[in-house]
Every structure is written in structure tokens, then in C-alpha cells.
Structure 1
Amino acid sequence: MRALTLLAALSAAGASVTASPLGSPKPPKPAGSDINPFVGKKLFANPKWATKLEDTYRSFTQKGDRANAAVVRKVQKTGSFVWVTSRSGLSEIDDAIRSARNEQRRTGQKQVVGLVLYNLPDRDCSAGESAGELSSKNDGLRIYKEQFIKPYAAKLAAARDLQFAVVLEPDSLGNAVTNMGVEFCKEAVPTYREGIAFAIKSLQLDNVALYIDAAHGGWLGWADNLPLAAKEFATVVSLANANNAPGSKNATIRGFSTNVSNYNPYLTSNTTRPRDPYTEWSPSYDESHYASSLSPYLSELGLPAHFIIDQGRVALPGAREEWGEWCNVEPAGFGHAPTADQKVLQNENVDAIVWVKPGGESDGECGLAGAPKAGAWFGGYVEMLVKNADASVKNRRV
């Protein structure tokens, strides 16, 4: 996952800093709900992830590091998304529903359960570190629809007492925008489009907010890529409604997710965190600015300009020499704690800062020497994330 391509780099070299479509007509009102699903709710804290962090807690206590051990306890109670990445993994939804219901009853606090839907045929066509179980050459699209999307939707439909926020297929449409020069991606993109459109259509539930993954500012945020990205997203949403009966209700999404499993900061400034040098020519030099840069192009096409932004891990200043470094980046830390508070967000297009990527799960056998395969636990890495955690995490009251 998280591959940055030659085309994106070429776009960077010739990018203009103009980020909005000048002289465009007033856009139609975006489709979709106007209700931010995160306001007044708590992002569900996955107890399965918390259990994995027990080894991290013990490691710090054995070293006599009580300060960082205390941070681990706060991280364990921080909301994060549950990844559902295979047909056998659909049981993760059942476990999350059961735990979220228990927490909702115990605390009286309405939960929003974050889920990642990630199992397209020919998944991760440009990087290959997170290749999935399905192939388009082996009836993968039919299997995806019948054996993955339909039961996924049925489980959420049966849990109307919970709110869900679902991230749809990280990286897939980013590859459709910039990686058509990669033969495997070129062949996979029609499957990506049809599969995501089917997922959108299938998940039209009152208790589900859908966020199409929009990669990140370093990938699609260049001035040349912004209109191409919006057009690709509009193509998929239109495909979800291609066979509607006359007068039927259109399938809609809530918005878009960015920075999933990546390391970009939410907001940079001269007084807090400075911009990294490689962002110099981009209008999307942090993820908040990416949301602002992409929003007018989305609105022009009638798409909702709402975003959730992953800050599960953030690279420290100077950790990367280029945006294309995406695998087990060092040094990094847990980013800003999840929030929908506009005093923090300072961007009305952003619904919430969230933790989509559960810190501690490896990006793949890349980046740091000795890194395990994608999704495997990387104990030394999560200790680093704790030590470098954002102040909003360290100072939380839990």
C-alpha cells in the first residue's frame, strides 16, 4: 500500500499552486447526509487492538518507564478502525458490534464504529505489500459482491442501534488516477470501479456513513491531480446509480477518507510543525490543506466535500526525504487523538480526525530492517509510536 508513482512525481514538478476551479458555475448541492456521524459520539475503541498493546505496556513497566506505560493505557482506550480484509475476516464485524454494544450500554455513550472495507480483487496493484485473497481472473468480482459485500452489508443492517463509519477500499481509486501506466493497475481499475460502486449501492443504510478513500495529499493533492481525482470519484458514484429505476433514490456517500495508513500531519504551521521541504510546490502540503484543495472540485461535480483524516501515525519532522516513503517510517508517533471538535479541526470540510490504521501493525516487509509482513505485529515500532505520541494523546483523561 501507499505507493507514490512516477506520474505523481511528474505532476509535482509542474504543479501550479492554484487549488480551486476558477470561474466555475455554482455547484449543485452535494448529495448525501448533512449530519456529521462523529459529533456527539465516541469512536469505538477496539478491545482486540488494546489486547495486543498489553505486551507494549509490560515492556515499558519492565524497564521502569511508568510514564510511557501510562501513555499505553491511554492509547488502549483510544478509538480506532477495525479492518475487514477477507471473507473469513467478516467475523471481525460481529466482534466489533458485540463489543461496541457492551460499551454503549456500560457508559451510555453513543458509539461510532469505524470499519475499513478492504478486499477488492487485484488489491494493491502498484505496491503488492497488501495483496488480497481475490483475483479478477478467478471470478473475484462475483465472489467479492456475493460473499463479501452482501454479508458485510447484512451485518451492519442488523445493528441499527449502532452508527458505522466505513472507509471504502484504501488506495484503489488513487491507483486509478495515477497508475494507469502500471499494466496490472490498468487491468484492475474497471474491477475496482465496479466493486466500489456495488459496495456503495449495497451499504445505503441510515446507520452507515460511507467514505471513499482519497489517498493523501502527497499522492493526489498536486494541482494537476486534483481535478482528475474528483472526476474518478464522480465516475464511481455515478456507476453506483447507473441502473436505478426511474424515480428511485440515488445512492450517496458521506465523503472521503485521507492519509489512511500514511504518515502525513493534519496541519502544519510556522509556529507548531513546519512544512517538510518536499511539500514546497504542493497546495496540499498537509492533510487539512488537501481537504481544502480537493473540496471545490468535488462540489463542482455534485459530490459531498466531507473528510475524515487518519492521524493514527504521523512522521516526525525530517523523518522522510520524500512523500513516497510510506512503509514503517521512522521516527513516527501516534498522531492527534480522534476528535470532531472544530476548535481543533479548524476546517469545516473535515468531519473528524480519526485513527484508521491501528498503530503497531506493520506496513509490510519494507522500511525498517526486520519489519514483518503487512498486518503482523511490530512490537518495537509501536513502542516508538508511544514515545513520540502527540500531546493530545499523552494529556488525555480516560
Structure 2
Amino acid sequence: MRPSSLLVAVATGGLVSAAPSPKPPAATSSVNPFQGKTQFVNPSWAAKLDKTLKSFLFKGDVVNSLKTLKVQQTSTFVWVSRIADLPNIDAAIAAARKAQKWSGKKQIVGLVLYDLPDRDCSAGESAGELKSEENGLERYKNEFIKPYAQKVAAAKDLEFAIVLEPDSLGNLVTNMGVELCAKAAPVYRAGIAHAIASLQYPNVHLYIDAAHGGWLGWDGNLPLAAKEFAEVLKLAGEGKKIRGFVTNVSNYNPFQATVRENYTEWSNSWDESHYATSLTPHLEAEGLPARFIIDQGRVHLPGARKEWGEWCNVQPAGFGPAPTTKTNNTVVDALVWVKPGGESDGQCGMAGAPRAGEWFDEYAQMLVKNADSSVFKLF
């Protein structure tokens, strides 16, 4: 979501990393789990867009009303960010089974697992419910991960792509100078390792959050990030596997930029496709699977930002390219919409923004107006 500290990147951004030596790859399936499946359309998020639709209809804006209807039919991930959100998994399973039965097409359900103790250690806009000094790690394991795993394991007729803890490990790469992040580091590693170990099911495909190109994509940060990821997977235990990594969660970077922004000048990871390519040899050097999904739920318009560090309700922005497995990058499994567009990043950025996670209809309207044309390809 946001790179709170780019000191390492600035110090090393103009350098070229030494070519890492590959290790034997981690055990993972060679089959893209998204291939040949329908990405789940979350009816709960689609219902929120009813307000946006009514806003356009009230204005007599037929074109954007029709666009909103198409957006409502686009797949997004389901966020499970608190213990009280666990029923979101049950609702998604029920809706996916209904869609699977009606369409005859296999569903892959995107879920976000996001409730680490001391969450969002460097910013606080999305601070969570659990605290490490209040038995947070044990609660995370027993009250959050255990039922989470039981629910997806029981739904053997569905496939799941699960994003593990946005922002967390990125903070451990660049923000250890922040007191809360330094304190949270062992808890983050232990928590994510436990989640990986608990979700080893054939119908579950795990993607560790790898921040985004503007955060970890600098030459000096790439090997540090890969080593951090490798440490966590090692903690999960021998034979435990992940499918790969997810980038750009809740951020605004384009997958393949049509315009290279000035602030990317010193980075080889100037869009998310280049970031995936840049990170790949460092992952392989640690024996990690270099497979990616890229969040394109929201993409800024050229010139919208003056620096990568602008992360909150960026404007102007639009819904990004429609979810697809046609990525023109061999290490990228799929473009996905992880962030449900229209939900605020926090009380920052665009004027009138509500608290993080609350519906921000003025922003949703902007996203519809500026949406990538691929979303409306059936028009």
C-alpha cells in the first residue's frame, strides 16, 4: 500500500544488483491456478456499487450508469480483516457455489487474509484489532487462522487464491527504524509462517504480499525482500509451499505503464510487470517460486502523483484492466482486482474521504468514469 521509508531505495536505487545464484526451486505446481477458471464476482461488493449506479442515474448519466453495471460484474477479492469478518468466507463460498452451478464453470475465489497483531506498523490508517502484548499472536492463530483454514478446506469443490497479509513483510524490509515495526517483526514472521503451514490444501493457492515496485522494486531492496520471504517460508516448515507473490495490493501502479512517470527514473521496476521481472531472479536465488498476481483494482492516471509515496485515495484514478490470465509476462499468473474499488484508503487524499474501508461514493464514481476500456469490452 505505502512505502513509508525509502531510505534504502534512495541510497541504492542507481546501483545494479549482482546476479544472484539460483537455488533449487520451492515445490509448487507448474499449473496456473487461474487458467481455465472464472474469477469470483463478489455480490457484497457489487451491492455497494448500487449507490454509485443511483448517483449516475440521478444525474441522467446513462453512459456511466452502464459502465457501473459492467463493473458490478467484475471479480474482486473478499477481505477478511477481523475475526468478526470470518463469515465473509461463508458468504463467498455460498455465492461461488451458486455461480458455479448456474454457469457450469469452475470458480476461483479470491480472499485476503489480513489480521496480524500490530498490523500496519508504519502508518496506522489500517491498524487492526490484535496487539502482540495482549496475547495477539495466540488469538491470531486460534481465533482467526484456525477457523479461516477450516472453512476453505471444507469447500473442496472450489479453488481459492489467498493473499497473505498486505504490507507486512514490506515493512520488515524498509521500516525497521520504526519502533512498532521492529517490535512486530518476529510476530509478523511467526504469524505468516503459521498461516502458510495451516493452509496447505490442494484447493488453496497462497500468494505472499510483496508490496509494489515503488517500495521494494529498487535494486538494493530486491535481495533483501527475497531473503525476508525465504525466512518466513522456512519458518513455515519443511515441505510447506506457496504458489507465489502478489504485488500492488491497494496501490495504484499500472501493470504495464503507457507513460513512464518521472519519479520512476532511477528504478528498473517502473511498473508492476517490470517489478515482477526484477524480483524474479532474487526469488529464484532463494529457492522461491517466481509466480505473481498483480492487483489492478485501481490505477492512477498519468501525472496523478508526484512521487510513489502518495498512496491514499489518489486522484485521478480509474478501475484498472479487467482481471485476466493474458498478461504478456510469463511469471504473472493473472491480473486481479484485490482492492475493492470505492472503499476508502483512509481520511486522506481526496477531499471528504471517510475512514479506511468505508464506502466513498464520490471516489467510486471517479473510478468508473476513468475505468480501463477492457472492463467494457462487451459493450
Given the alignment, which residue of 361, 368, 378 partners 2:350?
368
Q: CA shift at 1:17, angstroms?
A: 5.5
**Structure 2 residues not aligned, in runs of 5+:** none
Structure 1 residues 178-197: aligned runs within 5 Å: 178-197=174-193
Q: Of residues 86, 92, 96 in structure 2, which corresponds to 1:90?
A: 86
Structure 2 counterpart of 1:283: 268
The reply to whether residue 384 of structure 1 matches residue 366 of structure 2 is yes
Offset of residue 65 of structure 1: 1.0
Q: Which residue of 2 aligns with 1:262?
A: 251
2:46 to 47, 50, 53: 50
CA RMSD of aligned residues (A): 1.1
User: 1:10 offset after TM fit, Å?
Assistant: 4.5
Aligned residues: 379
Report the CA distance between 1:339 and its aligned residue: 0.2
Partners of 1:38 and 1:3 lie apart in 2 by 27
- The match for 2:338 among 353, 356, 364 is 356
Secondary structure class of the residue paired with 2:86? helix
Partner of 1:292: 277
In 2, Cα distance between equivalents of 1:160 and 1:368: 42
Quick one: distance in 2 between partners of 1:153 and 1:58? 38
Q: Which moved more, 1:281-290 or 1:63-72?
A: 63-72
Distance apart, 1:212 and its partner CA: 0.2
5+ residue gaps, structure 1? 245-249
Find the aligned partners of 1:316 and 1:324 in 2 and give their Cα distance: 15
Q: Structure 1 residues 367-376 or 166-175, which shifts more?
A: 367-376
Q: Give the letter for the 1:4 counterpart.
A: P
Show the counterpart of 2:220.
224
Mapped to 2, the partners of 1:118 and 1:29 lie a distance apart of: 27
TM-fit CA distance, 1:148: 0.3
2:299 to 314, 318, 336: 314
CA distance in 2 between partners of 1:349 and 1:58 (Å): 40
* Worse-superposed segment, 373-382 or 24-33: 24-33
Partner of 1:12: 10
Within 1, Cα distance between the matches of 2:361 and 2:84?
A: 25
Kept in 2, the 8 Å contact 1:46–1:79? The answer is yes
What secondary structure does 1:309 align onto? strand
> Is this contact kept in 2: 1:17–1:283, CA < 8 A?
no
Question: What per-residue deviation string (whole Å, max 9, x for no partner) do you get for residues 283-306 of structure 1?
Answer: 100000000000000011110000
Partner in structure 1 of residue 28 of structure 2: 32
Counterpart in the other structure of 2:318: 333
Match of 1:126 among 122, 125, 128: 122
Matched residues in 2 for 1:190 and 1:260: separation? 23
| CA shift for structure 1 position 13 | 4.7
- Are 2:379 and 1:394 equivalent residues in the alignment? no
Q: Evaluate the alpha carbon distance shift between residue 106 and residue 285 of structure 1 in structure 2; reply closer, same or farther with a 3 A threshold.
A: same
Per-residue deviation at 1:14?
3.2
Structure 1 CA distance, aligned partners of 2:364 and 2:21? Answer: 48
**Whole-angstrom distance in 2 between the partners of 1:384 and 1:135:** 36
> Could you tell me how far apart the structure 2 residues matched to 1:51 and 1:240 are?
38
Distance 1:371 1:26, change over 3 A: closer
CA distance in 2, matches of 1:25, 1:143: 39
Deviation at 1:239, TM superposition (A): 0.3
Structure 2 CA distance for partners of 1:158 and 1:226, relative to 1, 3 Å: same
CA distance in 2, matches of 1:385, 1:392: 14
CA drift of 1:30 comes to: 3.1
Cα deviation, residue 218, structure 1: 0.2
**Percent sequence identity over aligned pairs:** 62
Is the Cα contact below 8 Å between 1:31 and 1:302 reproduced in 2?
Answer: no
Cα distance, 1:31 vs structure 2: 2.0
1:305 maps onto 2:305 in alignment: no
Name the amino acid aligned to 1:18.
V
